[in-house]
Structure 1
Amino acid sequence: MMARTKRSRRSYTAGEWGRNRVRVFPDPKTGILQIEWRENGRRLTRSLKHRDWSRAKQQADEFAARFNGPRPGDEQKAEPEPLTLETLFDIYREEVTPTKAERSRRYDSAAMKMFLGCFGRDRRPDTLSQRDWDVFIRERRSGKVGPSGRPVSDRTIEYDLRFLLAVLNWAARSRDEEGRLLLESNPLRGLRVPREKNPTRVVLTQVEYEGLLQASLGMDWRFRVALVIAHETGHRIGAICQLRWSDIDTEAAVIRWRGEHEKTGYEHRTPVTAEVLQVLEEARKRNPGIGDIPLLPAPKDPSTCVSRWLLRDWWQRAEVLAGLERKRGRGWHSLRRKFASDLMNQPLKILCELGGWKTARTVLQCYQRADQDQLRKALEDRRIARS
């Protein structure tokens, strides 16, 4: 099997936005350096036919100098090139997106492609209006817009539009090399974002968990290890998939959760329970290794981590083996909600540290859910206190 080459985000820019901006970057497939510039409003790219980074930077400087227009202070000042939505996304992708976690970087690229397909690459962002907002909501909701081609919930649409608002707000606070704001203001500011009226936030019950745990005995060992770690740590399955043996300290009973694999980009360490240590010992027997070897290797390629999609399929199979009726929203994330609800009596600061939440607000709004027994106990405690 051919090894996958990690896409490089290395790039070098010369010149100034709106005048003589030039960028060099490696082709993600071949590694051969490319040069990119704009001419008469069109983006042009050609190959430099080599991989010498120092030489490419010098070529970019020379190329930008040939297109150099009037300097600030000259008698006739060059008019800036109108900012298009594509150019704005390019600037944001170059300056802001790299600061985010890996999952957020992938989402940024997908969302930019989606909005460019909906509004047009040459659309000026300052001309966006309520009509564009409504069209996007309607077509995204029906599945006409989006990578999947299927209808999506209002929760997904809300997430998409908040990304667009974040880009426009950033542009309204950022200036070019001449000190001009990229956008005078956010043209979509104040518009109403659709919200899911009754979001499905299923909390896995203890009985259901025990059923899945029993079913895991007859399944691939990776599923059982992932199931126990998810239940005992409350972390996302995406982060669990990416764990490597170098992240595990069995002597100290601690797991390191890398920021690039966390949705929030928050790197942290958490203690683990005896149940986790037990399945880690099982994983060590099945998959011995040290360093950056995956804790849960892919069945067909042990050098890579198991995919979350395969674990999703295993979850559905485990539900069948456990005799559980299919329920929308009951998946790996329902274990994260169970973790937050099980520890409801703990201080929120402790819970956030254990589960990797950056803010307590998210826990209260989306994860913790009191069951009937907890509600009745609270009323009984109140009655005892009053009497």
Structure 2
Amino acid sequence: MAKGKKKLWSYNTGHKGINWVRVYERSQSPKSLYIEWYWEGRRWQRALRTVMGHPVTDHRIAMNLADNMAATLEQRHNDKAFVKFRAPQEVTSENEIASLGETVEKYHAAKEGVWSDHHRKSMERRRAFWLAHLGADTPLTHISPAMVEGAPMDGGDSTKRKTLMYMRGLYTWAIRKARILPLSYDLSGLEVPAVTKGGLSYTVHEIRSLLDALEQECPEAAWMGHVAWQTGRRSGAILAVQPEDVVLFDDYALISFKKEHDKSKKPGEAAVSGRGLELTRILLADERDTMTGAKSDTALRGWLYRAEERAGIDRIKGRGWHSFKRAFATAADNMGAASKQSGTRRETLTGIYEQDWVAPKVELAAKLEEIVSSNRTGSGT
């Protein structure tokens, strides 16, 4: 009779909802242990080699780290509960007073150089909202987390989260960069709603149907779909691709993505093949500024929503072009390709897209093309 597999080691400490931490093995012969914890409604996981800067396989060291992190999280939880309803502190010195209006002006002046036009417009709207609600002349030291949370914000949890995160980012900048506030005013008591509905994925069957439907929209929309599926890149990065960023080869096209259009601010390359390569050749035959010709994300959403309607796919809130990226990651992992898209946190996925060589990228693109080409009808291929 075959012996059963050895149970993987794990150790947890703390209390759920406050300071629960777990360290554990992912395999029988781990190169490093992993750590997991919850904070502000989100689950966090890291390899201990990432946390410590070197591999950790000793269970005693891992348990000690877990106990220390649990103690830290408990302290943060207690501090958060204390500062949420703290009374505003009066400042006697004129030089120590910083008003909300003055601070946001300096904040935007310091940040606008690295913000995209779209992000800058969003931040301008949030600045106008907070100035109208709290008052431009209100000292930063008179604003408490409870006052910020009590603001009458419209929209869903995602919009409210972004609006609240604006204030948290402003205070963090004022403390750490501008150094015009003491650390005690970091808005650590601010309750920011966790958004878990986003990042939904399409199934492979839905991807196949959408690619067929995008063919009926226009060549640009079809190209966008194939590039999103075969490379896992975000829509903003694909939207910014110009003809000079594309190099054609016999059986694939290599696309370069500039770092200013990547979430991680790193340049990268990805390959497309099959129908994606055919569409790339078609688009390059015409003179154009960008490969898609679209001017905004609104146009891209229109393409996708109309394709969903043609394909008979239900419109589900939380699904969009980012769902191609999710489907790409799932399919690549299932194939053992250990895929990684540039723009994804280093700790979340391992992968081939951080390599300098091209062959694995081409191989992965070909495999993904094969998945959606099987049993396809009406694709135009």
Instruction: Normalising by structure 2, report the TM-score.
Output: 0.60
- Given the alignment, which residue of 133, 138, 154 partners 2:148? 133
Q: Please state how far the C-alpha of 1:205 moved relative to its aligned partner.
A: 0.7
Q: Please state how far the C-alpha of 1:192 moved relative to its aligned partner.
A: 4.0
Q: Which residue of 2 aligns with 1:214?
A: 212
- Given the alignment, which residue of 89, 94, 97 partners 2:104? 89
Structure 2 Cα separation of the partners of residues 213 and 127 of structure 1: 54
Q: Could you say if the C-alpha distance between residues 174 and 234 of structure 1 is closer, same or farther in structure 2, counting changes exceeding 3 Å?
A: closer
Q: Which residue of 1 aligns with 2:287?
A: 288
One-letter identity of the residue aligned with 1:255:
I
Q: Please state if 1:351 is matched with 2:339.
A: yes
- Contact 2:264–2:342 (CA under 8 A) maintained in structure 1: no
Q: Could you say if the C-alpha distance between residues 276 and 195 of structure 1 is closer, same or farther in structure 2, counting changes exceeding 3 Å?
A: same
One-letter identity of the residue aligned with 1:98:
G
Q: Please state if 1:163 is matched with 2:162.
A: no
Give the secondary structure class of the aligned counterpart of 2:199. Answer: coil
Q: Please state how far the C-alpha of 1:129 moved relative to its aligned partner.
A: 0.8
One-letter identity of the residue aligned with 2:265:
G
Q: Please state how far the C-alpha of 1:107 moved relative to its aligned partner.
A: 3.5
Structural mapping, 1:331-370, within 5 Å = 331-344=320-333, 351-352=339-340, 354-361=341-348
Structure 1 Cα separation of the partners of residues 175 and 336 of structure 2: 39
- Contact 1:97–1:108 (CA under 8 A) maintained in structure 2: no
Q: Please state if 1:258 is matched with 2:258.
A: yes
Structure 1 Cα separation of the partners of residues 199 and 193 of structure 2: 14
CA RMSD across the alignment: 2.8
Q: Please state how far the C-alpha of 1:211 moved relative to its aligned partner.
A: 1.1
- Given the alignment, which residue of 241, 244, 248 partners 2:242? 244
Structural mapping, 1:297-376, within 5 Å = 297=293, 305-344=294-333, 351-352=339-340, 354-361=341-348
* Relative contact order, higher structure (CA 8 A, sep 6+): 2
Give the secondary structure class of the aligned counterpart of 1:361. Answer: coil
Q: Could you say if the C-alpha distance between residues 325 and 162 of structure 1 is closer, same or farther in structure 2, counting changes exceeding 3 Å?
A: closer
- Contact 2:149–2:191 (CA under 8 A) maintained in structure 1: no
Residue by residue over 1:169-196, the C-alpha shift from the partner in whole angstroms, topping out at 9 and shown as x without a partner, is 2212345xxxxx4112352532142333
Q: Which residue of 2 aligns with 1:230?
A: 228
| Rg comparison, structure with higher value | 1
Give the secondary structure class of the aligned counterpart of 2:256. Answer: strand
One-letter identity of the residue aligned with 2:164:
L
Q: Could you say if the C-alpha distance between residues 260 and 113 of structure 1 is closer, same or farther in structure 2, counting changes exceeding 3 Å?
A: farther
Structure 2 Cα separation of the partners of residues 122 and 152 of structure 1: 29
Structure 1 Cα separation of the partners of residues 132 and 181 of structure 2: 21
- Contact 1:244–1:295 (CA under 8 A) maintained in structure 2: yes
Structure 2 Cα separation of the partners of residues 115 and 295 of structure 1: 39
Is 306-315 or 260-269 further displaced after alignment?
A: 260-269
Q: Please state how far the C-alpha of 1:244 moved relative to its aligned partner.
A: 0.8
Structure 1 Cα separation of the partners of residues 198 and 333 of structure 2: 20
One-letter identity of the residue aligned with 2:156:
V
Q: Could you say if the C-alpha distance between residues 312 and 132 of structure 1 is closer, same or farther in structure 2, counting changes exceeding 3 Å?
A: same
Q: Please state if 1:276 is matched with 2:280.
A: no
Give the secondary structure class of the aligned counterpart of 2:270. Answer: strand
Q: Which runs of 4+ in 1 moved over 6 A?
A: none
Please list every run of 5 or more consecutive structure 1 residues that lacks an aligned counterpart in the other structure: 1-77, 144-150, 176-180, 298-304, 364-387
Structural mapping, 1:88-167, within 5 Å = 88-136=103-151, 139-140=152-153, 143=154, 151-153=155-157, 155-167=158-170
Structure 2 Cα separation of the partners of residues 121 and 330 of structure 1: 38
One-letter identity of the residue aligned with 1:221:
P
Give the secondary structure class of the aligned counterpart of 1:343. Answer: helix
Q: Please state how far the C-alpha of 1:317 moved relative to its aligned partner.
A: 1.3
Equivalent residues, number: 256
Q: Could you say if the C-alpha distance between residues 174 and 197 of structure 1 is closer, same or farther in structure 2, counting changes exceeding 3 Å?
A: closer
Please list every run of 5 or more consecutive structure 2 residues that lacks an aligned counterpart in the other structure: 1-92, 351-381
One-letter identity of the residue aligned with 1:259:
K
Q: Could you say if the C-alpha distance between residues 189 and 347 of structure 1 is closer, same or farther in structure 2, counting changes exceeding 3 Å?
A: farther
- Contact 1:259–1:266 (CA under 8 A) maintained in structure 2: yes
